[in-house]
Amino acid sequence: MKWITRERPKIDRIACPWLIRRFIEPTAEIIYVPEAQVKMQAEALGAIPFDVPGVEFTHYENRSTFDYFLQKYDLKDPALHVMAPIIRGADADDHAAAAQAAGLWAIAAGMAFNIKDDYALLEQGMVIYDALYSWAKHLRHEKHTQNASENLLLEVFREYLKKQKGKKSPAWVKELEAMIQDHIDTNLTLSLKEISEELDLNPAYLSREFSKHFDDLSFGEYIRKLRIDKAIQLLETSDSPLSEIAYLTGFSDQSHFTRIFKKFTGKNPSTYRKNVLKSKENTKG
């Protein structure tokens, strides 16, 4: 079967051929022509046109052509449905649709800039979408780094769930869980403003609700508290230098770490560590 679309592909016109070849028809022929020639060449070549206006396989409302292929062929693979909002967001410049959408767009735009032959671009794109599929199917919960602020954010949410056990949670809680995990998976930071936007909640409301469950602390205050708790643990159990502990607990530098640590504990980190060591020596004695 032949499929035809506009030349100079970037997102949908690479993602859809990948989907066709991997899940619909492995031997499908993909044809790229100037936009004005798509329908005429489709008729002449007996090809199915896609991702152009006025044909069956195209955009519908806010859905991409990739979305329509999933619906049309009733493709149930969960990994494909993880990929769909990423592709949709990249294709429509709606990077709030998925945390990975901006990255996919950047890669696609760069590839199109570097590779002028559409068919060579498609072959390279097949590799990209194979990788995206593998991530969606097997690796979404893998972490690339042990980024301190991201791990602390997850701790915030776990603490929230622990305190909410047995209580009826707001509807946005499960969305928040998935969003935090997605941001951690992709090594991105997350702010209260971003949480509010992605959950479609008023930031003031979310801030107010957050503090109710975390000792009347704001989001930022609670994050700082968790950083200090983590720093205390590292000071008591490791011999890492203070600069390293500052980094591991998400502070911009050692002086910032020292200032906040003293504010919370009444001691600077080096004094705190000396007291801990002295206490251990006295216990041994």
**Domain boundary residue, one of 100, 121, 139:** 139
Query: Does one domain contain both 118 and 189?
Result: no
Residue 187's pLDDT is what? 36
- % of residues, the chain, pLDDT over 90: 48
Helix axes 12-19, 78-91, angle to 10 degrees: 160
Average pLDDT in the chain: 82
Query: Does one domain contain both 208 and 96?
Result: no
State the CATH number of the domain containing residue 254: 1.10.10.60
pLDDT bin (cut points 50, 70, 90) of residue 94 is confident
Residue 226's pLDDT is what? 76
| Mean per-residue pLDDT, 274-280 | 84
Give the structural domain span for 90.
2-139
pLDDT bin (cut points 50, 70, 90) of residue 231 is confident
- Per residue in 117-151, pLDDT (tens digit) is 999 999 999 999 999 999 999 887 666 555 555 55
Query: Does one domain contain both 26 and 116?
Result: yes
How far from 41 is each of 44, 48, 66, 137, CA to CA, in Å?
5, 10, 22, 37
Query: Does one domain contain both 10 and 98?
Result: yes
Least confident of 70-74, 75-79, 233-237: 233-237
Residue 148's pLDDT is what? 53
Residue 67 has pLDDT above 80, yes or no: yes
Query: Does one domain contain both 20 and 127?
Result: yes
Residue 65's pLDDT is what? 97
Query: Does one domain contain both 118 and 156?
Result: no
Residue 43's pLDDT is what? 96
- % of residues, the chain, pLDDT over 70: 76
Query: Does one domain contain both 188 and 274?
Result: no
**Domain boundary residue, one of 170, 185, 216:** 216
Q: Which comes out higher in pLDDT, residue 20 or 229? A: 20
Residue 186's pLDDT is what? 37
Query: Does one domain contain both 23 and 85?
Result: yes
Residue 74's pLDDT is what? 96
Query: Does one domain contain both 134 and 154?
Result: no
- Per residue in 232-253, pLDDT (tens digit) is 988 988 888 888 888 777 776 7
How far from 13 is each of 99, 112, 274, CA to CA, in Å?
21, 12, 62
**Domain boundary residue, one of 216, 233, 248:** 216
Overall number of domains in the chain: 3
Residues ≥6 apart with Cβ < 8 Å to 65: 12, 16, 50, 51, 57, 58, 59
Residue 40 has pLDDT above 70, yes or no: yes
Query: Does one domain contain both 69 and 174?
Result: no
How far from 114 is each of 9, 10, 110, 132, 258, CA to CA, in Å?
12, 12, 6, 20, 47
Residue 58's pLDDT is what? 95
Query: Does one domain contain both 126 and 7?
Result: yes
Residue 181's pLDDT is what? 46
- Per residue in 157-195, pLDDT (tens digit) is 556 556 655 556 666 666 665 555 444 333 334 566 766
Query: Does one domain contain both 167 and 273?
Result: no
Q: 96-100 long-range contacts, Cβ below 8 Å, gap at least 24?
A: 96/197, 96/198, 98/182, 99/179, 99/182, 99/183, 99/186, 99/188, 100/182, 100/186
